[in-house]
Structure 1
Amino acid sequence: MILKGFKEKSNKKYLNKLLLERQVQVADSKIESLGIIFNIDEIDDFERFRELAEYIKVRPNRVKIIAFSQSEKEMQHTWDVCYNPKDFGWKGAIKNAELQTFLNTKFDALISFYDKDLLELQLITAISQAQFKIGILQSDERFNDLIIKTKLEEFDVFKEELFKYLTILNKIKNE
């Protein structure tokens, strides 16, 4: 129990260090690859995210979606790529090779679609090598470059606003 508290403090310290060192780089590149992180305990319809990627004109083979769950047993059968707190070690260390691969991938954009301030979700967002990070409003605004203030239940509003702002920023490919 005490070690769990020390581990959490260690990860929070590492997260804060990442956020302080983060340098925002604005590029004129179009979004061709997309990573999506969501909390399966809050929203479990992952097909919405595939539709979202198609809506902003990202090819299906260039989209990677991962889910996070607080519980480890019940979600293993319903989702292919689902992570839990056991996949994280001390000082932000990632114990899962697939998750590490996701984090090392240089996506053009990363969508963090979760509402709860869970340390593990925040670590995934902060560690990700994505060039442009998008999310819904959270307690700490340093995680994302573009914040769309919506609720989780208002996914269609999020989708429309995302398309609108990506069009304004000239990030959507013309096919």
Structure 2
Amino acid sequence: MFLNGLKAKSILKQIDKVQLARNYKASKGGVATVAILQEMDKPFDTKQLTKLCKAIGVKPKDVTMLEYVKTLTKEQREQPQLFSDKQVGWKGVFKTKSLKDFSATPFDILISYYTPENLSLKAMTALSVAKFKVGINPEMEAYNDLTIHVATDQEVVFTKELEKYLKILKVIN
């Protein structure tokens, strides 16, 4: 129990360090890749995902998903798009290749589609090298470039608002 608290503090310290060094630079090439970080219990609706892709101007094959699960079962361990708390180590070090690759990939847009306060999801959002970060959690405004305040079951509203703000910010045409 005591060590879990120290581990959490080491992760938060690493997150703060990365956040201070982060500088947003607008990309001029448009949007080619999108990543969605979400909880497996409350996934982004697949019908709305195709509408989101169309609105942003990317193909569904260019969208990468990473889903958080509280604890992984034996079958889930073989799925690289799933991760749990045990795969995030001290100082926010990701223990699996799929998590390291996800955090190191410079996605054009990272959508953090989750609301609960969860250290593993927060670490993935903050430590990702995505160029533009979008979230829905009001408590995560410091980690995202854009926050749209909606619940996880409001994909229609989120898609419309995201498209509107990406056009205003000239991230998309």
1:167 matched to 2:167? yes
Q: What per-residue deviation string (whole Å, max 9, x for no partner) do you get for residues 24-56 of structure 1?
A: 223343111111101113x13552564222332
Superposition pairs of residues 20-169 of structure 1, within 5 angstroms: 20-41=20-41, 43-45=42-44, 47-48=46-47, 50-51=49-50, 52-73=52-73, 76=76, 81-169=81-169
Q: Which consecutive segments of 4 or more residues in structure 1 shift more than 3 A? A: none
| Alpha-carbon distance, 1:131 to partner | 0.6
Given residue 133 of structure 1, which amino acid in structure 2 is its aligned partner?
K
Structure 1 vs Structure 2 CA RMSD: 2.1
Given residue 152 of structure 1, which amino acid in structure 2 is its aligned partner?
T
For normalisation by structure 2, the TM-score amounts to 0.88
Distance 1:75 1:155 in 2: 29
Identity %: 34
- Residue of structure 2 in register with 1:4 after alignment: 4
Distance 1:92 1:34 in 2: 22
Distance 2:138 2:110 in 1: 15
Superposition pairs of residues 9-20 of structure 1, within 5 angstroms: 9-20=9-20
Structure 2: runs of 5+ lacking an equivalent = none
Structure 1: runs of 5+ lacking an equivalent = none
Q: 1:37 to 1:97 in 2, by over 3 A?
A: same
Given residue 46 of structure 2, which amino acid in structure 1 is its aligned partner?
E
| Alpha-carbon distance, 1:146 to partner | 1.0
Distance 1:127 1:92 in 2: 8
Contact 1:69 / 1:75 at 8 angstroms: preserved in 2?
Answer: no
Given residue 151 of structure 1, which amino acid in structure 2 is its aligned partner?
A
Q: 1:74 to 1:158 in 2, by over 3 A?
A: farther
Distance 2:75 2:125 in 1: 21
- Partner of 2:64, secondary structure, is strand
For normalisation by structure 1, the TM-score amounts to 0.87
